[in-house]
Structures are given as C-alpha cells and as structure tokens.
Amino acid sequence: MPLDALVFDAYGTLFDVHAVIDRCEKFWPGKGAQLSQLWRAKQLEYSWLRSLIGRYQPFSALTRDALGYACEALGLALDEAKTKTLMQDYLGLAPYPDVPEALAALKGGGRKLAILTNGSPDMIEPLVKNRGLQSSFDAVLSVDPLKTFKPAPRVYQLAVDSLRVPAANIGFISSNGWDALGAKSFGFTVFWINRGAAPVDRLGFQPDGMLASLGDLAPRIAH
C-alpha cells in the first residue's frame, strides 16, 4: 500500500525533550539529568491520567505542572523565574541532528508531511517556527481541539480527517513506543524510532518497522 502521507510525533521524535538538561544542570548542579527524566515521565503520565478522568488541560499546563512535581519530588527549589525560563526553553527544543536532512529527503513526490502532537498550539507552533521547519510540513496538528491526548484513537483520526488520506495510506513515525502502538492499533503503517533499543510493549501487535534514526526512514519507503 503506497504511503500518501507521513505523520510525525513531535516531542521525543523530532525534538529532543532532554535538550533542557543543560539548563536544569545550571539551576540545580548534579540534578539536571534526573530532573529532566522525571519531568518528562510526569508530563506523559499527566496526559494519560487527564485523558482517563476526562479533565483535559493543555499540554503547556501539564508540562508546567510536571515540572513543579518533579522539582518538589527531588527537593529542588523552583521559583517563577526558573519556571518561566524552562518553559521558554521548550519553545526552542533542539531537533535531533538527523531530522532536518531526513525531512528534506522525505519531502516531495506528492506525499504530505504532518506533525500530530499532544503539544498545545502555544507550544508546538512557536517551536516549529523557531527551528525553521515550517516549510517541511503541510500541517501541524494538535490534540487541543479534541481535548484529549494520544493514544486515544480519535487523535489519530484527526490526521485522517485533516489530511484527507485513508489510514491505510498514512505512515506514522514516533520514538515513543506507546504512541507507535497506539497508531498501529488505529490502522496506520507505523515506524518506531527505537533510539534506546527498548523491547516492544506487550499489547499484542508490533510496529511495521523499527528505525535507529529518522534518517533510516527514506530508504524503507522508497517506491
């Protein structure tokens, strides 16, 4: 089945969420990596919990709340100035080194490229702009209008409806295993960027392809 569209997760897939480690380390020496890991873990946990209990908040609010939790859990003093700086850093997260070249290789030939992200518009739109990637995508889709988060099936349906491409003709790319399997369950052709060589979650199905980096995708889908 030809892939008429490629849909990418953003955080952890295109953009390195742990690019904030240096700032965290500057604020709290010796704690930067630990804080970044816990911050990310709680950010995701809050997205799943708020989806399950039906109490949506934008991803920017979850990210701020997760930062507050992580600092309290680690006994780190967090004031408004540090919070503002770290939240601002999220608007300029570095893309993974292979991303710009890989996106350029995938663009063209009538194939649509889009982002589908948990990120709220106040986070993802400045990030894409600040990194000069606007021209790489035909659409940047946020869950915000749906008031829920991935891996809810209707989030993946948003890509189908917005791009006007059947699910069977959409390739979905994520470095988050739970997101990759959510997209596979929905019906996309899924490529998991498994940077950490992690095992596949036991949910009863597999991604269609495993990649070490985004640069590995173009040769896999050449036709």
Q: How far is CA 176 from the centre of its chain?
A: 8
As beta bridge partners, residue 166 has none
Phi, psi of 217 (to 5 degrees): -75, -45
The H or E element that residue 182 is part of is helix 177-186
Domains of the chain in start order, with CATH, are: 5-15+93-221 (3.40.50.1000), 17-92 (1.10.150.240)
Question: CA–CA separation, 101 vs 119, rounded Å?
Answer: 23
Q: How far apart are the first and last CA of the chain?
A: 10
Which pLDDT band holds residue 194 (cuts at 50, 70, 90)?
A: very high
pLDDT in tens, 59-116: 999 999 999 999 999 999 999 999 999 999 999 999 999 999 999 999 877 899 999 9
Q: Is the pTM of this model over 0.75?
A: yes
Both tokens of 212, joined, read 């070490």
Q: Is the peptide bond before 151 cis (omega within 30 degrees of 0)?
A: yes
Question: CA–CA separation, 82 vs 77, rounded Å?
Answer: 9
Could you list the active site residues?
Answer: 9
- Please calculate the CA angle 8-11-218 and round it to the nearest 5 degrees: 35
- Please calculate the CA angle 68-144-64 and round it to the nearest 5 degrees: 10
Which pLDDT band holds residue 223 (cuts at 50, 70, 90)?
A: low
pLDDT of residue 155: 98
Phi, psi of 134 (to 5 degrees): -60, -40
Compute the 3-state secondary structure of the chain and give helix, strand, coil in percent, each to the nearest 5.
50, 15, 35
